Amino acid sequence: MKVKEKNDLLIVAVAALLTLLLGFGIQFGLHLRDVHREQQRGIALMDRLQTSAEAAGETEHGTISALTAGRERAYENKLKHLVELEKLDMLMLVNPYNPIPEGYTPVLRMVDESHAVDERCADALLQMINDCREAGMHPYICSAYRTQEYQQGLFDNKVLRVILSGVDAEEAPAVAARSVAVPGTSEHQLGLAVDIIDEFYTNLDQGQEGTDTQQWLMENCWRYGFILRYPNGTTEKTGIIYEPWHYRYVGEFAEEIHKSGLVFEDYIAQRRGR
């Protein structure tokens, strides 16, 4: 083969090789470009997913926070409602025309060796008794909480004594009920009522009002959440005779009742009309 032909073949071979290499380089470059684009898409996708997750997390957190706040508000409202009911329970009207609700059972606490009261008024009662004594008086609790059975015994005994005094047996229960409540209609069964007398005048009669002890209690009992339950001249409304020794706990409503001058029945009627 001639030299010229050899050179031509060499040139052709080199050109073919360069063309091949160039083609491979272009393809490799395109491949790198595609890989880079995929990487960029992946990065963008991850960014979007992270953003979405954060947004979802914020939304979920917001939802949870809203639900939690809603539960807290509902609980606070329920608690306020229960507190209000607890206060209004102090105004439960019990008299010959309004018996104690069936199943009503107070939570009791002893205030001395033989007397118990509703635990909600125990501290106030003891404070009133102590302050009365410190003022130089001689208060003495002669009756507090009574069970249904005990009240029944008191009532039956009163009926018998009324009959023995000459009252007709058929009329005796009605007469007895003016001074001893019919079982189921006594405030003592609430645990919110106490009979307080003077240690040196123990008769349960109108003479109690003349003692220094009763004068102090009538003037100051409202400061401790109590009211004189059966004031003089209110028998037609209360159904019970004047008892200047019977005090009823009404809690924070005592001041308003005291200032109003209303008997408890009238005060309750006024509140219901509001």
pLDDT greater than 70 at residue 22: no
CATH topology of domain 106-146+186-273: Muramoyl-pentapeptide Carboxypeptidase; domain 2 (3.30.1380)
b vs e for 59-81, b when ≥16 Cβ sit within 10 Å of the residue's Cβ? Answer: eeeeeeeeeeeeeeeeeeeeeee
**Mean of the per-residue pLDDT values of the chain:** 81
10 Å CB burial of residue 215 (0-12, 13-18, 19+) is middle
The tokens describing 83, both together, are 């507190």
Q: What is the mean pLDDT of residues 94-117?
A: 95
pLDDT tens profile 137-187:
999 999 999 999 999 999 999 999 999 999 999 999 999 999 999 999 999
Domain residue spans in the chain?
A: 1-89, 106-146+186-273
pLDDT tens-digit map of 178-211? 999 999 999 999 999 999 999 999 999 999 999 9
Length of the chain: 274
pLDDT tens profile 213-229: 999 999 999 999 999 99
Amino acid 97 reads: Y
Which of 60, 219, 243, 256 is catalytic? The answer is 243
3-state secondary structure of 173: helix
* Catalytic residue list contains 5: no
